[in-house]
Amino acid sequence: MITQFRAKRAFTATVSVAVLSCLCIPARAQSPQRRPRVVVIGVNGMEWDIIRPLLVKGEMPNLAGAIQRGVYGKMRTLSSPNCPKVYTTFATSTAPEENGITGFVVGGVSANTAMLKREPLWSILSQHGITVGLANVPATFPTLPVNGYMVSGMLTRGKGCENGILCSPRLSEVIGGDPVYPATMAAELKANVGDFWIDCARMPLASELKGKEAQTVEEWLKQISEIRAQQVTLFEYLLTHHPTDFTMFVQSCEDRVGHWLYPIQPYNVGYNPNLHTLRVDAFPAQYRAFDQVLGRILQHLDSNTYVFIISDHGIKPLREFEESRLSRYMAHDHGGTTPVIAKHDFEDGDDVPGSFIAMGPNIKKDVRLMGFAVTVFDVAPTILSLYGIPIPNQMRGRVLKEIFEEPAPTTPLRPTKK
Ligand SMILES: [Zn+2]
């Protein structure tokens, strides 16, 4: 704990110094009009098996457009992937064992930013004078100082949150740290966006479902729609009133829906006709809704913006042959006793790959990345390279040079140290 505490203090001090030292960085990087704009849109548990048919049927037009205008493919994730592990790897390009966030719970306590032992991307960008804005990125609670703003996401603690279990406090219900940096911005967001839910809703308990499946499913899905609507309002407010060089927004409800409403068949593990015949379209509907969110975000961006759409992992129905007792599948991290029928923490992460879609001024067009060319470690180094920032030694990934046509004159790709 002492090491972790020191790490956080050192990191916070570094950021403060960095923000003050903006004037010391090269003129080219200082010039606002020549700085690249990068927007990262994260989706928890985007599953290619579900989105491919939607793309074919024209039901995800905005994602299809991004694919046509960019590069796309699977992304190799971690072993037994989950959101806090993978999003911290996105941010630090280090393994969970190195960066300190090894799961939802670390040492009996919900994962939080005080445990972070490696510098995240947004801290490094801040040190180089890049303005940074984040909203709803998992495992960013309590928020840390950046050269811009941060609104926390999954694993924010508050009313009704047990250790490690996902919950959905409203902005005013957060306990144990600031959900917004700078803290003074919380009142502005509450006034203009509302007292929004910070994360997606926790899944219903088995006891809440039994005998009243239809009613519970409908009510829960209604709240999911409200949460997504609030998120879009938040994202659009931030893009309009707080534009930043680097922006990252994350959606979590897709994964949450998939865990217990994946459209499984009677031959799948955990099939319950009382539940799994009710809303077989609920999970695909999440991706159609995400596509609408994507469209709203893209309306704020021009063709010179680099857009990365990334997912930490996919999600698949349970497999009986890997674990014999259904009770082992209960997702205690996600919602307690919810009858889970799909998951992503398979030991072989290649069974549930993430997604990687990128488009921008000098990114190749309509190119599929075959196999596992991209890994979750490569996101941060590639973004740093767009700003001409050297890749820190801590980073295990590489710059994805192959996705670019050629280095654009205003966005030099510097060689990595590795
Ligand atoms: Zn999940």
What band does 368 get if pLDDT is binned at 50, 70 and 90?
very high
| Interval between CA 12 and ligand 1 midpoint (Å) | 30
C-alpha distances in angstroms, 410 versus 30, 44, 243, 245, 403? Answer: 12, 32, 20, 14, 17
What band does 16 get if pLDDT is binned at 50, 70 and 90?
very low
pLDDT given for residue 417 in this prediction:
43
| Interval between CA 178 and ligand 1 midpoint (Å) | 24
| Interval between CA 26 and ligand 1 midpoint (Å) | 42
Answer yes or no: is pLDDT of 120 > 60: yes
| Interval between CA 247 and ligand 1 midpoint (Å) | 23
Going by the DSSP 8-state scheme, the letter that residue 197 receives in this structure is B
In contact, 200 and 168? CB cutoff 8 Å:
yes
Residues 71-81: tens digit of each pLDDT: 999 999 999 99
Higher-scoring residue by pLDDT: 336, 79: 79
pTM comes to 0.89
What is the rounded average pLDDT of the residues 186-212?
A: 94
In contact, 93 and 123? CB cutoff 8 Å:
no
| Interval between CA 344 and ligand 1 midpoint (Å) | 6
What is the rounded average pLDDT of the residues 121-140?
A: 97
From 292, 391, 334, select the one nearest 61 (Cα to Cα). Answer: 292
Output the CA torsion sign for 274, 277, 279, 282. Answer: positive
What is the rounded average pLDDT of the residues 179-191?
A: 97
Tokens for 358?
A: 């990128």
How far apart, in whole angstroms, are the C-alpha atoms of residue 91 and residue 84? 11
Which residues have a beta carbon within 5 Å of ligand 1, which is an ion? 255
| Interval between CA 334 and ligand 1 midpoint (Å) | 7
Least confident among 188-197, 314-323, 385-394: 314-323
| Interval between CA 382 and ligand 1 midpoint (Å) | 26
| Interval between CA 150 and ligand 1 midpoint (Å) | 23
From 137, 154, 203, 163, select the one nearest 342 (Cα to Cα). Answer: 203
From 15, 12, 76, 129, select the one nearest 388 (Cα to Cα). Answer: 129
Tokens for 172?
A: 């005013």
| Interval between CA 342 and ligand 1 midpoint (Å) | 9
Answer yes or no: is pLDDT of 389 > 50: yes
| Interval between CA 83 and ligand 1 midpoint (Å) | 7
Answer yes or no: is pLDDT of 70 > 50: yes
Find the helix or strand (DSSP H, E) in which 258 lies.
helix 253-261
pLDDT given for residue 31 in this prediction:
46
How far apart, in whole angstroms, are the C-alpha atoms of residue 292 and residue 60? 8
From 115, 81, 91, select the one nearest 101 (Cα to Cα). Answer: 115
Find the helix or strand (DSSP H, E) in which 27 lies.
helix 27-30
| Interval between CA 110 and ligand 1 midpoint (Å) | 15
| Interval between CA 255 and ligand 1 midpoint (Å) | 5
Supply angle C-alpha 345, 286, 295, rounded to 5: 115
Answer yes or no: is pLDDT of 30 > 70: no
What band does 329 get if pLDDT is binned at 50, 70 and 90?
low
Answer yes or no: is pLDDT of 28 > 90: no
| Interval between CA 31 and ligand 1 midpoint (Å) | 41
| Interval between CA 245 and ligand 1 midpoint (Å) | 30
| Interval between CA 363 and ligand 1 midpoint (Å) | 31
Percent of the chain scoring above 90 in pLDDT: 78
| Interval between CA 331 and ligand 1 midpoint (Å) | 8
| Interval between CA 203 and ligand 1 midpoint (Å) | 11
Q: Strand 354-359 relative to strand 70-75: parallel, antiparallel, unpaired?
A: antiparallel
Answer yes or no: is pLDDT of 164 > 90: no
Q: Which long-range contacts (CB under 8 A, 24 or more apart) does 239-244 make?
A: 239/297, 239/300, 240/300, 241/192, 242/133, 242/148, 242/149, 243/133, 244/131, 244/132, 244/133, 244/148, 244/149
| Interval between CA 337 and ligand 1 midpoint (Å) | 14
| Interval between CA 416 and ligand 1 midpoint (Å) | 33
| Interval between CA 9 and ligand 1 midpoint (Å) | 31
Mean pLDDT estimate for the chain: 88
| Interval between CA 10 and ligand 1 midpoint (Å) | 32
Q: Would residue 45 be called left, alpha or beta, if left means φ above 0 and alpha means ψ between -120 and 50 degrees? A: left
What is the rounded average pLDDT of the residues 228-254?
A: 97
Answer yes or no: is pLDDT of 84 > 90: yes
pLDDT given for residue 163 in this prediction:
74
| Interval between CA 345 and ligand 1 midpoint (Å) | 8
Answer yes or no: is pLDDT of 177 > 50: yes
| Interval between CA 105 and ligand 1 midpoint (Å) | 14
Q: Strand 306-311 relative to strand 180-181: parallel, antiparallel, unpaired?
A: unpaired
